[in-house]
Amino acid sequence: MAKFLTGNELNSELEKLFERADEQIILISPYIKLHDRYASTLRTKKDNPKIEIIIVFGKNEEDLSRSMKQEDFNFFKEFPNIEIRYEKRLHAKYYSNESSAILTSMNLYNFSQDNNIEAGVMTKATLLGNLASNLMTNVTGEDSFDRTAWTYFSRVIEQSDLLFKKVPEYESTMLGLSKKYVSSKTEVDKLTDFFANRPKYESNGRKDNYEKKAVISETKTEPKTETVVVNKFSTETKFLSTTALSKEVGLSSKDLFSKFEKMNWIERRNDDWVLTTSGKNKGAQTKKGQYGEYIAWPDTIVKEIK
Instruction: Please choose, from the candidates 283, 195, 302, the residue with its C-alpha nearest in 3D space to the C-alpha of residue 245.
Output: 302
Pairing state of beta strands 292-298 and 239-241? antiparallel
Q: Report the C-alpha gap between 224 and 101 in whole angstroms.
A: 58
The answer to whether residues 294 and 159 belong to one domain is no
The number of helices, as runs of H, and strands, as runs of E, in the chain is 13, 16
Letter for the amino acid at 276? T
Q: How many CB atoms lie within 10 A of CB 145?
A: 15
Reported pTM: 0.62
State how far the alpha carbon of 66 is from the alpha carbons of 31, 51, 72, 183, 285, in Å: 8, 27, 12, 31, 19
Residue predicted with more confidence, 78 or 302: 78
Give domain status of residue 210, yes or no: no
Domain span at residue 254 reads 222-305
- Contact predicate 93/26, CB 8 Å: no
Q: Are residues 144 and 255 in the same domain?
A: no
Q: Are 124 and 100 in contact (CB under 8 A)?
A: yes
Of 148, 181, 196, which marks where a domain is finished? 196
The answer to whether the CB of 126 falls within 8 A of the CB of 4 is no
Tell me, what's the pLDDT at 219?
40
The answer on pLDDT for 198 being more than 80 is no
pLDDT digit string (tens) for 125-157? 643 344 344 434 444 444 577 788 888 999 999
Q: How far apart are CA 28 and CA 15, in angstroms?
A: 15
pLDDT in tens, 211-238: 433 333 444 444 444 454 545 555 567 8
Contact at 8 Å (CB) between 91 and 105? no
Task: Let me know whether 31 and 136 are in one domain.
Answer: yes
Indicate which CATH number applies to the domain containing 153.
Answer: 3.30.870.10
Residues 167 and 49 in one domain: yes
Listed range (54-58, 241-245, 270-274) with the worst mean pLDDT: 270-274
Is 151 within a domain? yes
Domain boundary among 152, 180, 196: 196
Out of 154, 178, 196, a domain closes at 196
258 lies in some domain: yes
**Residue 159 binned pLDDT confidence (cut-offs 50, 70, 90):** very high
192 with 75, same domain: the answer is yes
- Structure confidence at residue 242 as a pLDDT band (50, 70, 90): confident
Identify whether 204 is part of a domain.
no
Instruction: Judge whether 6 lies within some domain.
Output: yes
Q: What is the pLDDT of residue 289?
A: 66
Residues 101 and 237 in one domain: no
- Asked whether residue 206 is domain-assigned, the answer is no
Give Cα separations from 231 to 56, 129, 223, 244, 296 (angstroms).
43, 64, 20, 21, 14
Q: Domains in the chain: how many in total?
A: 2
Pair 149, 258 in one domain: no
